[in-house]
Amino acid sequence: MKKTYRLMCSAVLLGGMLAGCSSSGESAKPAGETKQADASVNKAEKVKLTFWRNSGNDTENAAYEKLVAAFMEKHPNISIDMVPIPYSDYDTKLRVSIASGSPPDIMALDAPTLASYADAGALKPLTSYFKADGNMDDIPKSTLATYTYQNEIYMAPLTESSIALFYNKKLFQANGIPLPSKNPDEPWTWEQVLDAAKKLNDPAKGVFGIDPAQGFGNAGATAYFKYPIVWQFGGEIMSPDGKTAKGYLDSAATKKAIQFFSELYNKEQVSALEYPPEPFPNGKLAITIDGSWSLANLKEKYPSFKLGEDYDIAPLPKGTKQAVANGSWALGISAKSGHPDEAWTFINFVTGAEGQKIYCEMTKDIPSRYSAAKQFPELNEYPKNIFVVQNQKYGRPRPITPIFPQMADAVNKMFEDVTIGKRNIDTAVAEAVTAIDKAYADAEAQKKK
């Protein structure tokens, strides 16, 4: 194991990659060693840890404040200096702090960015900590896999989210269409969804059949909606090690998924490139794929559009299998932290069952742990049980690769080329594979400079 790590720090704004300069540091100490050493120096010494996170809404910020206060009350010898940073500035400031050698002890990261930080050596592996007292069996294996890079766990998850099929119940009933099952293990197939969308599509009245993946906006965000369709048809985006798209993105199953997606817009014309404002609650969109977070949004902004009366929710459709993307913001430890054991003590509290209960009671998010989710009756009942069960049983990581931004851009462009540009699928897919594999090769070459 090398005792130095390479910090890639140049392309912060362009691609989300760290590139260029290198820094050296001590090799990781076994869990417990640092704590014992500190204790031998001064048992009463108070350790101060810096904790950076992206600032959320008022409720999320208040929940974190409560967690920090609860932790410091239990651990008076550990002080947490929490620094919330606006989302738009967060990644840039964090990467600059790492490149300059002054990162926070604890940092929050969004799941897709994990591999770039871990690949650069900016994160301390947490595997030994998890095995010692992280209660790994309380977390779905697919969730832990989302925060694992090259066989090491680097992040501890706090919450999860999921997406499902939202449908206009009154439109279904008016057209004599049977309602989908609410059982998370009994989804409609995409063919059933298409059949319903064709019957519900009514251009004369400005009603669209389905929005299958929240449009073509930010590539990283739309990946959360588009990749499950590929998986559901038996396809893949990249190799399990995140090094290549060849043999995966260009597989027959992946191309079948892309073909189906594009035909919703072009051949079947049940989907549109542009929808009127808020089409679903306004009765202009019969079916949409949306997230668990939309329940509160619809209830707040459209109180007359009621769950159970005007709309309902069903599990995400399947092709040959069920699949949904997982991964959210999680907590990790800087490889340069002088107090990794104390940092783990904090992270293990925040992301443990007690911490998740505190946080999710306030935010109404979905806990990542089985035990925490069981403590909330509403998460075990319709409609939220659909999101919880899907994530726990059918969740999958988005590609874990240090070139996630470049990969996501290439895949999003591929979907746009085929769907909007009506390009030949084989050509568009081949270009995406080339772009992804070149991005990985370039990143590897940069690391060796």
Q: Is the Cβ–Cβ distance between 374 and 301 less than 8 Å?
A: no
CA distance readout (Å), 101 to 22, 207, 331: 10, 55, 19
pLDDT digits (tens, 9 = 90+) for 136-174: 999 999 999 999 999 999 999 999 989 999 999 999 999
Residue-wise pLDDT tens digits, 362-394? 999 999 999 999 999 999 999 999 999 999 999
Q: What does the alpha-carbon distance between residue 49 and residue 328 come to, in Å, rounded to a whole number?
A: 23
C-alpha distances out from residue 449 to 6, 183, 243, Å: 10, 53, 19
pLDDT digits 0-9 by tens, 231-249: 999 999 999 999 999 999 9
- In whole angstroms, what is the distance from residue 69 CA to residue 206 CA? 52
Model confidence at 77: pLDDT above 50:
yes
User: What is the average pLDDT value for the chain, to the nearest integer?
Assistant: 91
**Bridge-partner residues for 24, per DSSP?**
4
User: Using the 8-state DSSP alphabet, how is residue 217 labeled?
Assistant: -
Kindly state the average pLDDT of the residues 284-302. Answer: 96
Residue 14 pLDDT exceeds 80: no
Output the six-digit token pair for 154: 């680097």
The CA-CA-CA angle for residues 88, 367, 304, to 5°, reads 75
| Phi, psi of 60, rounded to the nearest 5 degrees | -65, -45
pLDDT of residue 128: 98
Q: What is the average per-residue pLDDT within 352-358? A: 98
pLDDT at 284 over 60: yes
Q: What is the pLDDT of residue 44?
A: 58
CA 115 to chain CA centroid, nearest Å: 13
pLDDT interval class at 277 (50, 70, 90): very high
pLDDT interval class at 222 (50, 70, 90):
confident
pTM: 0.89
Residue 7: the pLDDT is: 35
Query: Which segments within 250-352 are labelled E, that is strand?
Result: 285-291, 311-314, 324-325, 329-333
pLDDT band at 215 (very low <50, low <70, confident <90, very high): confident
CA distance 174 to 200: 9
Distance of alpha carbon 366 from alpha carbon 332, whole angstroms: 20
**DSSP secondary structure string, 114-130?**
HHHHHHTT-B---HHHH
Q: Are 208 and 272 in contact (CB under 8 A)?
A: yes
- Rounded mean pLDDT, 193-217: 95
Reply yes or no on whether the pLDDT at 407 is more than 80: yes
Per-residue pLDDT band at 448 (split at 50, 70, 90): confident
pLDDT (0 to 100) of residue 449: 80
**Per-residue DSSP letters for 98-164?**
HHTT---SEEEEEGGGHHHHHHTT-B---HHHHHHHS-GGGS-HHHHHHTEETTEE--EE-EE--EE
**Lowest-confidence segment of 5-19, 55-69, 334-348 by average pLDDT:** 5-19
The pLDDT of residue 45: 80
Q: Which domains does the chain have, with CATH numbers?
A: 4-19+32-161+327-396 (3.40.190.10), 163-325+403-448 (3.40.190.10)
Please report the pLDDT score of residue 41 as a whole number: 36
Confidence of residue 25 (pLDDT cuts 50, 70, 90): very low
Instruction: Return d(Cα 333, Cα 56) in angstroms, integer.
Output: 20
Per DSSP, the chain holds a count of helices (H) and strands (E) of 17, 17
